[in-house]
Amino acid sequence: MKSRIEQFPVMNPNPVLSVAKDGTVLYSNVAGEPLLHGWGVLVGEKLPSCIGDFVQRVISWNSPEKMEVKVGNKVYLILFHPLPDEECVNIYGFDISDQKELERKLQESKEDLAEVHKTAHIGNWKWNIVTNELSWSDEVYRIFGLNPQEFEATFNAYFNYVHLDDRNIVVNAIKKAFEGEPYSVDNRIITANGEERIVHSDAEFTFNEDNIPVYARGIVQDITERKKAEEALQESEERFRSAFEDSAVAMALVGPDARLLRLNDVFCRMLGFEKSEIEGHTFLDFTYPDDMKPSILAHKAVINSEKPFLWIEKRYIRKDGRVIWCDVSSSPVLDLKGCPIYTIAHIQDITERKKAEEALKKAHDSLEERVEERTTQLEKAYKLLKESEESLAEAQRITHIGNGDWNLVTGEIYWSDELYRIFGLDPQESDLIYGKLLNYVHPDDRKYVNKAFQRGLKGAHINIDYRIILANGEERTVHTQTEAIFDEKNTPIRLKGIVQDITERKKAEEALANIETARKKEIHHRIKNNLQVISSLLDLQGEKFKDGKDIKNSEVLEAFRESQDRVISMALIHEELHEGGGGNTVSFSPYLEKLVKNLFQTYKVGNNYICLNLDLEESLFFDMDTAVPLGIIINELVSNSLKHAFPGRDNGGYINSIEESKNGDRQITSYTLTVSDNGVGIPENLDLENPDTLGTQLVASLVEQLDGELELNRNNGTEFTMKFIVMEKIIRHQHQHYNN
């Protein structure tokens, strides 16, 4: 033995050990010392039992074995080579840490790639055309609305998901790919859940020496959202183009280099040019020489984002040589990175206004000589002002927005014509006072509006909705925004604001809310029906075990009955939600009464003498997060009483169910639920902390889910008392102010 050990290669860079049958380490080279250190032994000592047992098994079976061992930050592949004649095992170790690290990084890379594909909705596939074998990545399954690897992929399976109208597109693309053309196609698919999506596919085909396609690999990407975005962008661009071309105001898109990129017809007519004669030129080519420098500075300020909006007055030279004055307002259009790509300019011919201003100036200089001319120009200016006021009034009429101004010092109130119309009043009415105006506010909203205006007088910004009653009795809804103006002593002197008639918008919002309510109602109806189907299936399945002579059959039947009761308790909740109009809450008292009566009907055989007492608080509503577990708890407790509380009793049995609430602060309500009977009582060995039956475990789990407490009283029968609180989930039948 000693001579054999002396033959081991001491300088071998890999661990080499010799171990006796009983696990004693006979030899270790230098490279094997880290293994011994990791196992906590020295030469001459026995290996840990986990390794020693492995050594004995290798010798007994006379078969080499291997295992991986991690020592420190290194991983070794350990080979056990038996020497049965010498009753020992040679152990050879190989450091595979680098290999393991590469495997880990490769796995991470695969997972990262899969995550990228999942995020980008890109799946990949491989198709052996010769064997017609097709493999999909997990993301391909997801794109088609399937669970990953739900079934073995085939070309026919893929083709079945392609939209009927697009199948020829796919077939033709594949035919062309078989002829050597690139495969790149967009088509629609119908997913497993019936949803229509759009996918893009790219593929690479491999041909054999006879130029026959034998293999293909490719990717498929869900581009539905991108297509929708492109359509939305196209629609937006079309709307902009329409607004640009059909605008009554001259408009132009101007590049950073001052070139006119796009013009509308109004701008061309204003300068007297054809569009082809202007596009591509800079606006400087048509600018009056004295106005070039301010025009360049203004354009640079906008294109360099120094100013978000700029307005200047400048002169243009028409094709016929005539000079016109224009009012130019310009703002930048930014790319996705926030960088200006061009500016959009609105140009209005103000030549007449400028002439009027010049005429007024001359008239001021020579008033006595030019009175008649000055009068004419003033009339033109007045006409322009009148037209401007009429335009404002028309805009207010179209948008149903009126403006008002209340002088708090004099008490005078000014209303625009549209504001009179909103309140159904004659614009000529002049005796407006605050108290009278408040009378038009709906009585239920009057206090709320008055308080809001009082806050506004203290500096608060008013932004409220409320109802008004017009003179003809019609009820409308308006939105008001106001702000107060204060003097140097911080005393409010004026209240200015706007009022908008939002009645139609409110009606639209209510219509949408009704649609949503109907949708929820349908959902609850379907869930209820599905749960009733499950209950019926349990009932049918239970028919197989109605032979009461067989204990196992009786136990199975009882399990079916309990499961059926739990399903019914949940179905009743969705029935209440459906009958209640599709809301989010359950009227709990009627639901509880139905639930308990259903249980009495289920266990009526032998229990005709048992009375039911219900003491329930009215107008009590729970949401589903509370109602479902609470209903199952009551189902378990009452059914348990019916099954076990009254064996052999002929009369006098009763079951009580009492529910009461106690309001805490505005957001918390405490509840107490008591279920009791005067039966034989629950065995003393029942521990609520460690229940041993499914029903009791279910009750304990659901009480914990509700953050409640459950107490058991065994005096004069059985009494379960559950206490729990609900935060902001109770809805009672109480009036809530329209704008509370």
What is residue 215's predicted lDDT score, i.e. its pLDDT?
A: 92
Report which DSSP code applies to 86: G
- Across the chain, mean pLDDT equals 77
Bridging pattern class, strands 133-136 and 183-190? unpaired
Angle in degrees, 0-180, between the axes of helices 503-542 and 551-579, rounded to the nearest 10: 170
User: Is the pLDDT confidence value at 188 over 90?
Assistant: yes
In angstroms, the CA 415 to CA 421 distance is: 10
- What sign for the dihedral angle of Cα 603, 604, 610, 612? positive
> What tokens appear for 170 in the block?
């796919």
Q: What are phi and psi of 517, to 5 degrees?
A: -65, -45
User: Is the pLDDT confidence value at 168 over 90?
Assistant: yes
pLDDT digits (tens, 9 = 90+) for 637-664: 887 887 777 776 555 555 666 666 666 5
pLDDT digits (tens, 9 = 90+) for 264-282: 888 899 899 998 888 888 8
Q: Which of the pair, 582 or 491, is modelled with greater confidence?
A: 491
Q: What is the DSSP string of 546-602?
A: --TTSHHHHHHHHHHHHHHHHHHHHHHHHHHHHHTTS-SEEEHHHHHHHHHHHHHHH
**Predicted confidence band of residue 32 (pLDDT cuts 50, 70, 90):** confident
CA distances to 136, 408, 533, 627, 669 from 567, in Å: 39, 67, 10, 14, 28
Mean pLDDT is lowest, of 84-93, 177-186, 601-610, for 601-610
In angstroms, the CA 328 to CA 311 distance is: 6
> What is the mean pLDDT of the segment spanning 624-644?
81
CA 122 from centroid of its chain's CA atoms: 22
What is residue 169's predicted lDDT score, i.e. its pLDDT?
A: 92
> What is the mean pLDDT of the segment spanning 73-100?
84
In angstroms, the CA 543 to CA 541 distance is: 5
Q: Is 611 helix (H, G, I), strand (E, B) or coil?
A: strand
Closest CA to 331 of 292, 296, 303: 303
| Ranges assigned E (strand) in 129-283 | 133-136, 183-190, 196-207, 213-222, 250-254, 260-263
Q: Do residues 84 and 59 make contact, with C-beta atoms less than 8 angstroms apart?
A: yes
What is residue 730's predicted lDDT score, i.e. its pLDDT?
A: 40
**Predicted confidence band of residue 320 (pLDDT cuts 50, 70, 90):** very high
CA distances to 21, 31, 64 from 67, in Å: 18, 18, 11
Residue 529 CB-density burial (10 A; 0-12 exposed, 13-18 middle, 19+ buried): middle
Report which DSSP code applies to 303: H
What is residue 563's predicted lDDT score, i.e. its pLDDT?
A: 62
> What is the mean pLDDT of the segment spanning 43-66?
85
> What is the mean pLDDT of the segment spanning 356-373?
73
Q: Which of the pair, 174 or 507, is modelled with greater confidence?
A: 174
CA 119 from centroid of its chain's CA atoms: 16
Amino acid at 670: S
3-state secondary structure 375-409: HHHHHHHHHHHHHHHHHHHHHHHHHCEEEEEEECC
In angstroms, the CA 250 to CA 269 distance is: 9
What is residue 731's predicted lDDT score, i.e. its pLDDT?
A: 39
Q: What are phi and psi of 17, to 5 degrees?
A: -135, 155
- CA atoms within 13 A of residue 399's CA, in its CB half-sphere: 13
What is residue 733's predicted lDDT score, i.e. its pLDDT?
A: 35
pLDDT digits (tens, 9 = 90+) for 124-158: 888 898 888 888 888 888 888 888 888 788 878 88
In angstroms, the CA 327 to CA 209 distance is: 74
In angstroms, the CA 407 to CA 522 distance is: 55
Q: Do residues 409 and 388 make contact, with C-beta atoms less than 8 angstroms apart?
A: no
Q: 10 Å Cβ neighbour count for 271?
A: 21
Mean pLDDT is lowest, of 75-89, 137-151, 358-372, 691-705, for 358-372
Q: Do residues 122 and 139 make contact, with C-beta atoms less than 8 angstroms apart?
A: yes
Q: 10 Å Cβ neighbour count for 519?
A: 10
> What is the mean pLDDT of the segment spanning 583-603?
75
Q: What are phi and psi of 508, to 5 degrees?
A: -65, -40
User: Is the pLDDT confidence value at 196 over 80?
Assistant: yes
pLDDT digits (tens, 9 = 90+) for 202-227: 999 999 998 999 999 998 988 888 88
Q: Is 197 helix (H, G, I), strand (E, B) or coil?
A: strand
> What tokens appear for 461 in the block?
């910004």
In angstroms, the CA 232 to CA 227 distance is: 8
Mean pLDDT is lowest, of 142-146, 246-250, 254-258, 443-447, for 246-250
Angle in degrees, 0-180, between the axes of helices 624-644 and 694-705, rounded to the nearest 10: 150
Q: Where do runs of H (alpha helix) occur along 282-433?
A: 292-303, 351-365, 371-399, 417-422
- In sequence order, the 6+-apart residues with CB closer than 8 A to the CB of 273 are 319
pLDDT digits (tens, 9 = 90+) for 395-423: 555 656 888 888 888 878 888 888 788 88
User: Is the pLDDT confidence value at 116 over 60?
Assistant: no
Q: Is 245 helix (H, G, I), strand (E, B) or coil?
A: helix
Q: Do residues 263 and 274 make contact, with C-beta atoms less than 8 angstroms apart?
A: no
> What tokens appear for 651 in the block?
């009369």
Q: Tokens 């759009």 correspond to what residue?
A: 198
Q: Do residues 215 and 206 make contact, with C-beta atoms less than 8 angstroms apart?
A: yes
In angstroms, the CA 715 to CA 682 distance is: 10
CA distances to 4, 272, 345, 407 from 276, in Å: 102, 12, 19, 56
In angstroms, the CA 615 to CA 658 distance is: 5
Using alpha carbons only, what angle is made at residue 277 by residues 273 and 282, rounded to the nearest 5 degrees?
Answer: 100
User: Is the pLDDT confidence value at 36 over 90?
Assistant: no
Q: Do residues 346 and 249 make contact, with C-beta atoms less than 8 angstroms apart?
A: yes
> What is the mean pLDDT of the segment spanning 448-463?
86
Bridging pattern class, strands 260-263 and 250-254? antiparallel
Q: What are phi and psi of 685, to 5 degrees?
A: -80, 0
Q: Do residues 415 and 404 make contact, with C-beta atoms less than 8 angstroms apart?
A: yes
389-428 CB burial, b ≥16 within 10 A, e <16 = eeeeeeebeeebbbebebebeeeebebbebbbbbbebeee
Closest CA to 142 of 108, 189, 204, 89: 189
Q: Measured in Å, how far apart are the chain's first and last C-alpha atoms? A: 96
Longest dimension (CA), the chain: 140
In angstroms, the CA 324 to CA 269 distance is: 12
What is the percent of the chain where pLDDT is above 90? 8
Closest CA to 121 of 193, 198, 52, 57: 198
In angstroms, the CA 62 to CA 706 distance is: 62
**Predicted confidence band of residue 740 (pLDDT cuts 50, 70, 90):** very low
Binning the chain into helix, strand and coil, the percentages to the nearest 5 are 45, 30, 30
pLDDT digits (tens, 9 = 90+) for 472-506: 888 899 899 888 888 888 888 888 888 888 888 88
User: Is the pLDDT confidence value at 538 over 60?
Assistant: no
In angstroms, the CA 90 to CA 66 distance is: 12
In angstroms, the CA 612 to CA 571 distance is: 22
CA 149 from centroid of its chain's CA atoms: 27
- In sequence order, the 6+-apart residues with CB closer than 8 A to the CB of 160 are none
Bridging pattern class, strands 654-663 and 611-615? parallel
> What is the mean pLDDT of the segment spanning 674-700?
77
